[in-house]
Structure 1
Amino acid sequence: MTQAYRPSRRSVLLSGAALSLSGLVPLRALAADPIKTAGIYTVPVEQQWVSRIHQAAEAAKAAGRIDYTYTENVANTDYPRVMREYCESGVKLIVGEIFGAEAEAREVAAEYPDVAFLLGSSFMPDAAANPNLAVFDNYIQDASYLSGIIAGAMTKSGNIGMVGGFPIPEVNRLMHAFMAGVRETRADAKFQVSFIGSWFDPPKANETAIAMIDAGADVLYAERFGVSDAAKERGVLAIGNVIDTQADYPETVVASALWHFEPTLNAALDAIEGGAFKADNYGVYSFMKAGGCSLAPLGSFEGKVPAEVMATVAAKEAAIKDGSFTVEINDEEPKSS
């Protein structure tokens, strides 16, 4: 993930053949049967990020648009093999995440030009090498910014702890957006920032969060599972990310920035059904104006967040949706202040 992806000569030759007609992948023009779809995930499907993909896929299955199966807990080193097995079984759409297997996954995609790949990635699509591979990520900086406005209003110490998985661009931008939101209501806020080096290690996230609380944090940004448990244990507040966990932490999680994968998946299915799926950046479907993210309802914290703060949130949300305000995108690694 720290190294730029370079397609192999073989992948370029294979993809060149696929592009010889129109540059589009004629995967499913005008077909009515459900699209045979496979999800390949490196973590359990209950993990925050993957759960949103899985939920959207299950909804598409219930609607009759796809025939969906999945494999979870796939090691990065095993990812290409699982991709090939699904391709050989007749799957026409593969969804998943290739952050730890970028080059290898793109090699496989080049071998199967009649399969559509919709994959979470840190790199942009490459139409020359992989005309059948589109990328996405949870670019929910809009909702993260709004959750930060609330966090800034709820902190008493002005000390906020932030626990992330890895300092990759798509995580960094969410953290920066959250911090920018905090400064709207608490200009003098200080941040403790740490990354645990894992997408799913609740004990380590918990331990890191406890250390931040001991260092004065009274609001935690829970980018990973385990952080809200620490907040609950120590009686401080937390802001959720990707999913709404307030039902599990009714006195702890004030608000959450939610990711909705449905617009991303539906756009890909529409393209496949129209025979027009191609290399593209589907990350834009995670933006708030596309319906790809939102701020969770306050729930048990209704009335506990000052009304003037929620008015600010509502005004900023409207401005984001109508395009009069754009949340800054900063993919640089955030640092403690």
Structure 2
Amino acid sequence: MRPNRRHLIALAAALAAAPTFSFAQAKLKVAAIYTVPFEQQWVSRIHKALNAAQARGEIEYKASENVANADYERVMREYATAGNQLIVGESFAVEAAARKVAKDFPKVAFLMGSSGKPQAPNFSVFDNYIQEPAYLTGMLAGGMTKSNKIGMVGGFPIPEVNRLMHAFMAGAKEVNPKVEFTVTFINSWFDPPKAKEAAFAMVDRGADVLYAERFGVSDAAKERGKLAVGNVINTQDKYPDTVFASALWNMEPTIDRALKAVKDGKFKHEDYGQYSMMKFKGSELAPLGTFEKKVPADLVAKVKAREQEILAGKFTVKVDDSQPKSTAK
């Protein structure tokens, strides 16, 4: 029997009313919670990787910045209740609360910056294991200092900072055994004026190279005509005559792996730390850029040779999470 006009109209109406499963509906819902501003070095790298996934059309991404520790658990619960499939953040100061939330939402995937271990079944951890390029920047610094005095300003003496400082110091010592270090922690993750003052004090004591683990240090170096080494991000575009080297953290390998695991229904508790290492492209030495012709060729050759040994697995940069100490007399 051939369908009449009424049947065809009814069929068209039914098809129009039927749900359509577009690519947009297949996007993962991802939320992130940060205790500092988006532009802070560490957080900016996570934010960048998640924004890149959103730009590719893979995820719907929402994020909260400057969340106080006291509010962190509440914000986590709100995002979990709102149907987000993956929640990313840094739980260093709120470990117990973050892990409690993960237990209460076993079907939500959590990927948190943490010094602790993964927690079954859904709490994965990551960390900035970029000690390899930090070592390489140390080699450059050891070769560039003329006073043999290097100043280092950090946020807090926690493993995530300590291991990078130790690697940097070891790299500097490799090419310049005479180098001395002054180490200061400002006990803040985002206080550029305080970091700047600490750096000025180091310059006054003879430092001609400054390790800028925090914002504010490169400003001090620029004002006093000294050199600076960047950390986590490359700020040479803002300090073209000051920042000559940076250890870069690329969060894309970590984020993209987690997104795929959630999408495939295979997300589980694991340690993503290794994906921040150079062999996974999770970290790298920034290009010399404006300093390409200012760094001695023999020093560049040494650094490149060491870089190749790291990538080939022939040289391992030691992970030392203990608090670094000043060696300057």
Q: TM-score, normalization: structure 1?
A: 0.89
Q: Which runs of 5+ in 1 are unaligned?
A: 1-30
Aligned residues: 304
Counterpart for residue 156 of structure 1: 146
SS at match of 2:116: coil
Give the aligned residue type for 2:185. F
Counterpart for residue 97 of structure 2: 104
* 1:194 corresponds to 2:154: no
CA drift at 1:126:
2.6
Counterpart for residue 214 of structure 1: 204
* 1:300 corresponds to 2:293: no
Tell me if structure 1 keeps the 8 A contact 2:85–2:262: no
What do the CA deviations read for 1:190-245 (whole angstroms, capped 9, x no partner)? 00001110110101100111111111111000000000000001110000000000
Please list, as runs of the form range in 1=range in 2, the aligned pairs for 1:21-170 lying within 5 A after superposition.
33-127=26-120, 131-170=121-160
What do the CA deviations read for 1:143-197 (whole angstroms, capped 9, x no partner)? 1000011000110011000000011112110000000110121111100001110
Give the aligned residue type for 1:183. K
Give the aligned residue type for 1:318. Q
| Candidates 247, 250, 273, aligned match of 1:283 | 273
* 1:240 corresponds to 2:230: yes
Give the aligned residue type for 1:122. S
Matches of 1:271 and 1:90 in 2, distance apart?
A: 17
Give the aligned residue type for 1:222. A
Using the aligned pairs only, state the percent identity. Answer: 64
What do the CA deviations read for 1:223-279 (whole angstroms, capped 9, x no partner)? 000000000011100000000000100110011000000000011112112211111
Matches of 1:195 and 1:123 in 2, distance apart?
A: 22
Counterpart for residue 9 of structure 2: none
Tell me if structure 1 keeps the 8 A contact 2:112–2:124: yes
SS at match of 2:293: coil
Matches of 2:266 and 2:96 in 1, distance apart?
A: 24
Give the aligned residue type for 2:198. T
CA drift at 1:322:
1.2
SS at match of 1:255: strand
* 1:179 corresponds to 2:172: no
SS at match of 2:26: coil
Matches of 1:93 and 1:283 in 2, distance apart?
A: 18
Matches of 1:308 and 1:268 in 2, distance apart?
A: 41
Matches of 1:158 and 1:123 in 2, distance apart?
A: 37
SS at match of 1:68: strand
Matches of 1:65 and 1:146 in 2, distance apart?
A: 35
Matches of 2:273 and 2:188 in 1, distance apart?
A: 22
| Candidates 302, 326, 329, aligned match of 2:316 | 326
Counterpart for residue 27 of structure 1: none
Q: Which runs of 5+ in 2 are unaligned?
A: 1-23
| Candidates 223, 227, 231, aligned match of 2:217 | 227
CA drift at 1:32:
7.9
Matches of 1:134 and 1:171 in 2, distance apart?
A: 20
Matches of 1:87 and 1:271 in 2, distance apart?
A: 18
Higher-Rg member (1/2): 2
CA drift at 1:54:
0.4
CA drift at 1:124:
1.6
Counterpart for residue 21 of structure 2: none
SS at match of 1:113: coil
Counterpart for residue 260 of structure 1: 250
Tell me if structure 1 keeps the 8 A contact 2:129–2:277: yes
Matches of 1:132 and 1:247 in 2, distance apart?
A: 39
Matches of 1:270 and 1:86 in 2, distance apart?
A: 20
RCO greater where, 1 or 2, for CA within 8 Å and sep 6 or more?
1
Q: TM-score, normalization: structure 2?
A: 0.91
Tell me if structure 1 keeps the 8 A contact 2:232–2:247: yes
